[in-house]
Structure 1
Amino acid sequence: MIINNVELEDIDILDADIAEKYEDALSVVDNISEKVKDMGISQSIRTQCTAIFDVFNTLFGEGTDKKVFGDKSNLLICLKAFEELVIVTNSQREDVVKFANKYSPNRASRRTKK
């Protein structure tokens, strides 16, 4: 997968161990807006970027943040990279839902009615 023009290994969100790491990593980002609401701009940016750096390091190994973001803490770049990661993982989930829907009981009963 390509994130911020850097090639990273593909992530298999459908593997239970990877999914667990992904959930743990995202929990750090979940309440970040509450954490930063009373901070100054620069501290807020660093805090949010650090949370995103931690997500990438958790999923792809230590040092991935430096590979993807360099030494900068640019909030827009961090948010776009995080969005790219979420899009990839959501796409994998959608594939499973489509597959499961092919064989859902509702579809089977609709087919017998035709």
Structure 2
Amino acid sequence: MSKATKFVVDCMQPIRDEIFEISDFHQYLIEHFKVGKNGKAGQLGDDVTIKMEKYSVIIVSKNAFAKRYLKYLAAKFLKKNDLRDYLRIVANAKNSYQLRYYSVDEETEEQE
């Protein structure tokens, strides 16, 4: 049996600004996460647990999956909720992602 893998998605900034509902994101991950041999969305079984904390979502998986898959699902959620123009998902550590705002200030300074 392989070691369980733990990933964290930090959503603190958009939750504090009240433009993001963590419960919606948590539910989206549960419904769309594909795992195991059957690969059907929403059938997590005992292989994957997705927990919600105050400002983050924690995914613990017994089966190996690509960290990039989590980024893909988060980006799809942002697109579905029309937040993709304002937020992006960035890796901030080996096993964690963070939702951040696009920094408009840096882009305008580069253009000048």
Could you tell me the TM-score, scaled by structure 1's length? Answer: 0.32
Q: Is the helix fraction higher in 1 or 2?
A: 1
User: Greater Rg, structure 1 or structure 2?
Assistant: 1
Q: Is the strand fraction higher in 1 or 2?
A: 2
